[in-house]
Structure 1
Amino acid sequence: MDRAPGTSVRLRLTLSYAGFLMLAGVLLLAVVWVFLLRYVPETIHTAPPEPGMRRGPLMFVPDRPFVPDRSDLQQAFVPKAAAMLTFLLMFSLLGGWVLAGSMLAPLRRITNATRLTANGSLSHRIRLEGRRDEFRELADAFDAMLARLEAHDAEQQRFAANASHELRTPLAITQTLLDVARNDPHRDTGELVDRLRLVNTRAIDLTEALLLLSRAKARTFTREHVDLSLAAEEATETLLPFAEQHGVTIETAGDVAATVGSHALLLQTATNLVHNAIVHNLPEQGTVWVTTSVHPTTVGLTVENTGEKLTPQLTATLVEPFQRGTGRTHADHAGVGLGLAIVRSIVQAHDGTLTLTPRADGGLRVTVRLPLTPSHTAR
């Protein structure tokens, strides 16, 4: 935004300090005038001084005291008051300029940091020293914002690189298959079509997952009342044949868990969690537990599954995009590596929390906490 040049804040503060100090001085002189000089009569009739004696304030003549009148006091008071006001003005301007510069020094550091941020630098910090005050709270808040922006920027760059790599893989496979088919005209086209279909399906799934992830982060959805237990039940029924195919048993339990959000996105959350629990499970006789719960201010969805033992370090990375637990994935349903990343984005868009905890006996426990519907909170 283009703005016309104006007076600096430092100069305005200096003039404000000087004006206030001058006003105080004038008021002080006015008090002296009102309570002192106004009670001095304009003329005082006394015996004239002896010939040759100079008249002056507070001059005494033997047996004939001289009492100064108002004009005498004005002659003695006004020049000194004017000189004092002149000195007070110069002192207030100089002191106000120095004081305003000292007070605005933190603001200049914040302004410089803002300019660096506008030019694309996110690694610097203000780190303003001293005790807490308004400027330091502003600087600390700005540093926290820079840290979040830097982390978000790094995450976006990492996500873009991973997404490019994941999208390039099916395209490269497709190109290779087409090259082989062109160089070998007698090759069975049925097998080629089947492989191309699988590769194309994976590319479509990845693209839809990226679009869903973008939609969740943008929070472009209509909020409505949603029963989290019904969403979990619907996801479980949909994936039941898939679980039977992998020899996994699903057990559901819980209470009515009312919240506010997007039914489609919360259903996608439950579906991703249950699907992830089925895929990353024991080769045989695995189990998945799906439960919902109600707390004083939140509702919860917990999905647990049996499986190999996980370390806390590995568990902490599973919510990152395109991260898969090594040795836990069935080869035929590896997914696109965005299941838990999508869940995290959806939960954050609904002002909730996502917690991943490795089970002591093996497997993973995933807990989603969302705000309870206000009408249920009041009960």
Structure 2
Amino acid sequence: MRRRRGMSARLKLTLSYAGIVVVSGGLLLAAVAAYLLRYVPDVQIPVTEFFVPNRSDLIRAFLPVAVVVMIVLLVFGLAGGWLLAGRMLAPLDRISRAAQLAAQGSLSHRVALEGPRDEFRDLADVFDSMLDRLEAHVAEQQRFAANASHELRTPLAISQTLLEVARTDPERDIDALIARLREVNTRAIDLTEALLLLSRADRRAFTREILDLSLLSEEAVEQLLPLADRRGITIDVGGDPAMVRGSSALLQQLATNLVHNALVHNLSFGGHVAIRTHALPHAVALVVENTGEPITAHRVATLVEPFQRGAERTRSEDHVGVGLGLAIAQRITEAHDGTLVLTPRAEGGLIVTVWLPHPFPTAG
């Protein structure tokens, strides 16, 4: 049911200003009448050389003037209130126009309210900041959707090509075809699961519990130890017990992704990976450091973007990546109110540090 539109804020403010002016004027005139006229007797004063009015004479002379003054105050209050309300509400009109444009899908418009800082300026700045984040988020989602569509299309196109070739080739190798289709299908499943994991982390739709990040790191290392052995990479894991509050599945995935990324972005043989956990009064840290080829600062800044693959990534059965490892790690970190920091090593390789809030922060 559509509600009937009431008075505008400008009209309400105008009536309020006018009401205050009229009431203030009325009280002032009443005070004059109360405190001055009471000293004038309401009796007939003997006629003298000069006319001396009594109280009734003064009231008869005062009332018409008071009525005129009240009318003038009312007109002045309405006119001045209308102008003053319009001036005061002008910033809200600009914010309202920006909100309407945003509702229509235009996120590039900004209020950009000038002048001294006041409540309206603070509101406009907060609104502009919200539009900045919203525009960046929408652009990221659009880029992510485009990349995801492209990545999902690739295995489907490969499967279609394999089937077309097999259909027209009478001497096709069925076993090889099945193995290839299974590999392509596995990649598509891995990508779909990664996308679902990203979505789950973004929604923060998970149950939180107290966990030890050091134990999760050890489980990740144990799971990926065969891959490290095949690539001749040594793993050194240790550190302090690091208690955090979060999702067991997501934080386990976080540790696994970081260790897996450190293994596949390493030297071709004989590399090293170090995993450490640290507990501070207000935060805990998971640090994963690996050897590898030198990485520029510009390249590091792009590694957490979805579908960004390292230049030296190994293409083998040990690693069928979808370009979402560090992107998932960052989303999981952010979903747990943490921060992920990437730092290139001077000798080559990468240092990944995950900061998470301590579930029981201590003073000091």
- TM-score, normalised to structure 1, is 0.93
Partner of 1:90: 75
2:34 is aligned with 1:68: no
Larger Rg: 1
* Equivalent residue in structure 2 for 1:360, among 341, 346, 351: 346
Partner of 2:257: 272
Partner of 1:57: none
Partner of 1:297: 282
Q: Which runs of 5+ in 1 are unaligned?
A: 50-60
Alpha-carbon displacement from aligned partner over 1:113-150 (angstroms, at most 9, x marks no partner): 11111111111111011111111111111111111111
Deviation at 1:330, TM superposition (A): 0.7
Which runs of structure 2 are paired with 1:14-53 in the superposition (5 Å)?
A: 14-46=14-46, 48-49=47-48
Give the total of aligned pairs: 362
* Equivalent residue in structure 1 for 2:196, among 207, 211, 216: 211
* Equivalent residue in structure 2 for 1:114, among 70, 84, 99: 99
Q: Secondary structure at the match of 1:290?
A: strand
Is the 2:209–2:245 contact (alpha carbons within 8 Å) kept by the matching residues of 1?
Answer: yes
Partner of 1:54: none
Is the 1:351–1:371 contact (alpha carbons within 8 Å) kept by the matching residues of 2?
Answer: yes
Partner of 1:340: 326
Partners of 1:67 and 1:168 lie apart in 2 by 105
Partner of 2:10: 10
Deviation at 1:164, TM superposition (A): 0.8
Is the 1:40–1:70 contact (alpha carbons within 8 Å) kept by the matching residues of 2?
Answer: yes
Deviation at 1:16, TM superposition (A): 0.4
* Equivalent residue in structure 2 for 1:331, among 310, 315, 322: 315
Partners of 2:280 and 2:114 lie apart in 1 by 42
- Partner AA of 1:172 in structure 2: A
- Partner AA of 1:87 in structure 2: V
Is the 1:44–1:67 contact (alpha carbons within 8 Å) kept by the matching residues of 2?
Answer: no
Partner of 1:103: 88
Is the 2:45–2:54 contact (alpha carbons within 8 Å) kept by the matching residues of 1?
Answer: no
2:216 is aligned with 1:231: yes
- Partner AA of 1:253 in structure 2: G
Deviation at 1:220, TM superposition (A): 0.8
Partners of 1:105 and 1:378 lie apart in 2 by 47
- Partner AA of 1:339 in structure 2: G
Partners of 1:255 and 1:359 lie apart in 2 by 23
Is the 1:255–1:293 contact (alpha carbons within 8 Å) kept by the matching residues of 2?
Answer: yes
- Partner AA of 1:343 in structure 2: A
- TM-score, normalised to structure 2, is 0.97
Deviation at 1:44, TM superposition (A): 4.3
Deviation at 1:334, TM superposition (A): 4.6
Alpha-carbon displacement from aligned partner over 1:250-309 (angstroms, at most 9, x marks no partner): 001210111100011000000000000000000111000000001221110010000000
CA RMSD of aligned residues (A): 1.3
Which runs of structure 2 are paired with 1:253-268 in the superposition (5 Å)?
A: 253-268=238-253
Partner of 2:337: 351
Which runs of structure 2 are paired with 1:304-319 in the superposition (5 Å)?
A: 304-319=289-304
Partner of 2:183: 198
